[in-house]
Amino acid sequence: MSIFTPTNQIRLTNVAVVRMKRAGKRFEIACYKNKVVGWRSGVEKDLDEVLQTHSVFVNVSKGQVAKKEALISAFGTDDQTEICKQILTKGEVQVSDKERHTQLEQMFRDIATIVADKCVNPETKRPYTVILIERAMKDIHYSVKPNKSTKQQALEVIKQLKEKMKIERAHMRLRFILPVNEGKKLKEKLKPLIKVIESEDYGQQLDIVCLIDPGCFREIDELVKKETKGKGSLEVLNLKDVEEGDEKLE
């Protein structure tokens, strides 16, 4: 049983631990909470704002610092700052069960908020409340995936909810102004991507107002640019076609 003296034992508090396994051994660094994500996304560039200490540990919670020989064997260097950067970039952030639960709860709420914001009841065109979407997500036993973005998961949730309730993404209202010659041919190509044509006017140019699924916007935009060689224009009139009024479906 080894006895740790103050020289190779460091006590830290309010710490986020990032761990990496290398050469069969475990190495850890001690970071300030909420700073790891900032470093990885490039928002935080000052290493001293992220690391509590430039020491590499075998166990942060016990304050056990890694030996020089172990570092050279695993990383090929004993430059602790460089090793800290490697672990910070590629290591796994350790979170407590309580923190993980809080994060998942927040993500669940965020996903429900995105779904409520993007969707309506297709019959009434009225939006759903976040509370109702949360309840529906619980009914289908939706399990949050911490490594996937909330936006990606919201799109998955919409697909799954469609099987259980009347819900669809709110349509986007667009206006096309197209040269008449190209416009007639282009309209045929656009038809499968358009949900409803609300108006069309043939004058010197073809003027169409229509509703589309937001997921088709990029494809439509590229098609208009390509087929009209930049002469056609596309204008977003409404991001969401929703019935006016404060009432929401509970």
User: 1-58, pLDDT tens digit by residue?
Assistant: 444 444 455 566 668 899 999 989 999 999 987 788 788 878 889 999 999 999 999 9
Domain 16-94 sits in CATH at 3.30.1250.10
User: 238-247, pLDDT tens digit by residue?
Assistant: 777 666 544 4
- What's 171-238's CATH class? alpha beta
The H or E element that residue 32 is part of is strand 25-32
As to burial, measured by CB atoms within 10 angstroms (0-12 exposed, 13-18 middle, 19+ buried), residue 31 is: buried
User: 162-220, pLDDT tens digit by residue?
Assistant: 999 999 888 889 998 888 877 778 888 888 988 888 988 888 888 889 998 888 888 98
Kindly list the distances between the CA atom of residue 63 and the CA atoms of 10, 11, 54, in Å, as whole numbers in the listed order.
4, 5, 13
The tokens for 2 are 């080894």
As to burial, measured by CB atoms within 10 angstroms (0-12 exposed, 13-18 middle, 19+ buried), residue 176 is: buried
Instruction: Count helices and strands (H / E) in the chain.
Output: 9, 11
Strands (E), the chain: 15-22, 25-32, 57-59, 64-65, 92-94, 119-120, 168-169, 172-179, 194-202, 205-212, 233-238
CA dihedral 118, 122, 126, 130 (to 10 degrees): -50
How far apart CA 174 and CA 194 sit, in angstroms, is: 10
CATH topology of domain 97-168: Arc Repressor Mutant, subunit A (1.10.10)
Residue ranges covered by each domain of the chain: 16-94, 97-168, 171-238
Is the pTM higher than 0.75? The answer reads no
C-beta of residue 114 within 8 angstroms of C-beta of residue 151? yes
How far apart CA 232 and CA 186 sit, in angstroms, is: 10
How far apart CA 238 and CA 173 sit, in angstroms, is: 5
Map residue 110 onto helix, strand or coil. helix
